[in-house]
A and B are shown apart, each in its own frame.
Chain A
Amino acid sequence: MPLPEVLNGLNGLNVLSVLTSDNFLYDQLPTGFISFRPDGSIIRINQTFLSWLEMPNDNTVKENFKSILTKACAVYYTLVIEPLLNLQPHVNEISLSFKTATGSFDALFNAVSYTNDQGNLMLVNASVQKITYRKKYEAELLYQKRLEEEQKSKFEFLSNTVPNQIWTASPDGQLAFINQRVKDYFNINDPAQLGGALSVYEEDKEKTIEAWKSCLQTGKKFEKEIRLQGTQQYPEWFLVTAQPFYNEQGEIELWFGSSTNIHKQKSLQLANYSALSESLTTAHKTIDENTETLESIAENQSHMIRKPLANMLGLINLLKLESMSPECSSLFKLLEHSATELDTMIKEVSNQI
């Protein structure tokens, strides 16, 4: 920067002396300085600040501090910063916008307040740092933040429209987000209140924690039918699933989970198993009973049939002693063969029983 004209003709030492003098530094440093009373009336303002405000280079400004702020900033200053300066001796890094003749500029505001013996505010000394370029980055950050919030609220809206319990968990398994259905089911407002596995029914807890830990370590999908204990008296069956979401670096960023209430289906299934098992037991019992009856009948019948057959065989043996015509002898042999065959058959049936 070239030297101010007023310094022309001075020797080197004198120039340095002027450039580092209190007055020069106060007025020319690239920082705005301002002093004002509690009512905002400006007592002193430096040249740098005046040039930013596009005001004449005259320290005797009649403006009020609030009148050089944009309206929204003046309201903010009135509501938030002014009370703070009454309550504490300083404020730092407040983002404010100042009006100029042609528009406005953004700045960071740092101030120290001084009070009298009664504790009443007497004076505010402040510095103002122009942040026009920084402001652009800040605006970008703010835009990204809003975008993120918008996406978050869209996700939350969507998650509340589905009938499932929707939740997300951090890579270490801590719940990060729960949808309204989770909040309603457990009567809570904050994921931290759920206490992770505390909501799982006691009997299912150990196996659930074991499976969940395994999924967290391996990144495999979690899927399990477990009972959850909500606000009602009895636990209900849920199909709980969770899948990892990987970021661009290939690391798990979040787990997206859903819990579907399957209590009715599960109860019905369990009831059907129970009924089927009972039916099978009854059927087995009936078969056993029938078999026993059949055995008894078969045994009785075989005895009943065998008794006349034994008589017949005895009579056949007696007839062998009698003389018979060739024709009778031939018929006798057929009779003996048939009787013997019937006896063998009855014996076999009897043995099988």
Chain B
Amino acid sequence: MFAHGFGCDQNTWRSIIPAFEHEYKLVLFDYVGSGNSDLTAYHDDRYSTLDGYALDVIEICREFELRDVIFIGHSVSSMIGVLASLQEPAFFKKLILIGPSPRYINDQEYIGGLDRKDLEELLDVMDQNYLGWSKMMAPSIMGNSDRPHLAESLTQNFCAADPEIAKKFARVTFLSDNRKDLSSVTVPSLTIQCEDDFLTSKSIAGYIQQHMPKNQVVLLDTSGHCPHLSDPEGVIGAIKSFITC
């Protein structure tokens, strides 16, 4: 089961899917509020914590009667997978966490990478990109005037995710603290971490390995937070060697 991270939808897995589609039954989905999901299914109460999103994962397992699931979660979905495995450990065979973080906000000696001010500014940036003068100005300032079909593409992509839900998802994501949950995980897991990731880091991957039983780490020699896009071969290799061992 492939679970996308914040800011993306299931299209994010397009470079990974071909490597597994012939040998495995694949489940891809969009979280409520992302991609082509049913926006009316969003309820503030349910999605005010990551547990609501974990429940989505469990409900998909129940609906399709999935067992021994290999859960592959990117970014925030890593912890959603962890929470789902705590609620229904029998559903999951292995967890693969790409760029995981149990807490993004710095907390005393724990370095999550962001502080509260950063989060508020991030929400402002999101606001500015959903309601900015850029949306009201007709022509683009440069380029693509000869390719108007492309010019609309980004807007469509943004529109696919409901801005209000995306903001709430961002807040839930970056205010989550799952450090205490790590020690209860019983399902074997793999962390895939880029050498140079702006949002997470090798030290966070080390923290997870230290606190989560049966966790191993693979470091990819690539940069960014989306190695499944920037280094799909590396990610495919790491996944295959973990799930076949």
Q: Which residues of A contact B (CB under 8 A)?
A: 31, 38-40, 66, 70-76, 78-80, 82-84, 86-97, 108, 110, 112, 119-121, 127, 129, 131, 134, 137-138, 141-142, 145, 189-190
Chain B nearest Cβ from A38, distance in angstroms: 6
Contact B131 A142 (CB under 8 A): yes
Q: Chain A residues with Cβ under 8 A from B132's Cβ?
A: 93, 95, 138
Q: Which residues of B contact A129 (CB under 8 A)?
A: 141-142
Residue B72 lies at the interface, judged by CB distance under 8 Å to chain A: no
The docked-state distance in angstroms from the alpha carbon of A76 to that of B7 is 9
List B residues 117-131 near A (Cβ within 8 Å).
Answer: 118-119, 121-122, 124-129, 131
Q: Please determine whether A89 and B133 come into contact, CB atoms closer than 8 angstroms.
A: no
Whether B151 contacts A82 by the Cβ 8 Å rule is no
List of B residues within 8 angstroms of A112 by Cβ: 143-144
A39 closest partner in B (C-beta): B223
On whether the beta carbons of A75 and B128 are closer than 8 Å, the reply is no
Specify which chain A residues have a CB less than 8 angstroms from the CB of B226 in the assembled complex.
82-83, 86
Q: What number of residue pairs across chains A and B have CB atoms under 8 A from each other?
A: 129
Chain B nearest Cβ from A171, distance in angstroms: 25
Instruction: Please report the total number of B residues contacting A with Cβ < 8 Å.
Output: 48
A76 to B125, Cβ gap below 8 A?
Answer: yes
Instruction: Verify if B153 is at the interface (C-beta below 8 Å from A).
Output: yes
Closest to A139 in B: B128
| B137 interface hit (Cβ, 8 Å) | yes
Task: Give 14 A-B pairs besides A110-B142, A142-B131 with Cβ atoms closer than 8 angstroms.
Answer: A40-B224, A75-B114, A75-B122, A78-B225, A82-B229, A83-B12, A84-B154, A84-B157, A90-B150, A94-B129, A95-B134, A119-B15, A137-B133, A189-B40
Given contacts A82-B224, A90-B153, A108 and B40 within 8 Å (CB-CB): no
Query: B232 contacts which chain A residues (CB < 8 A)?
Result: 120
CB 8 Å contact bits of B173-217 with A (1 = contact, 0 = none): 000000000000000000000001011000000000000000000
B127 touches A78 (CB 8 A): no
Residues of B at the A interface (CB closer than 8 Å) are 5-8, 11-12, 14-15, 40, 75, 114, 118-119, 121-122, 124-129, 131-135, 137, 140-144, 150-151, 153-154, 157, 196, 198-199, 222-226, 229-230, 232
In the A-B complex, the 10 residue pairs with the smallest Cβ-Cβ separation, listed nearest first, are: A72-B121, A93-B134, A39-B223, A86-B229, A80-B7, A79-B7, A95-B128, A72-B122, A127-B142, A76-B125
CB-based contact A79/B151 at 8 Å: no
Task: Determine if B40 and A70 form an interchain contact, defined as CB atoms under 8 angstroms apart.
Answer: no
**Would B224 and A72 count as touching, CB distance under 8 A?**
no
Assess A74 versus B14: contact at CB under 8 Å? Given A39-B224, A92-B144: no
Contacting residues, chain A, for B14 (C-beta < 8 A): 87
Given contacts A38-B230, A72-B118, A94-B129, contact A79 B223 (CB under 8 A): no
Instruction: For the complex, give the distance between the alpha carbons of A288 and B119 in Å.
Output: 87
Which residues of B lie under 8 Å from residue A38 when comparing CB positions? Answer: 223-224, 230
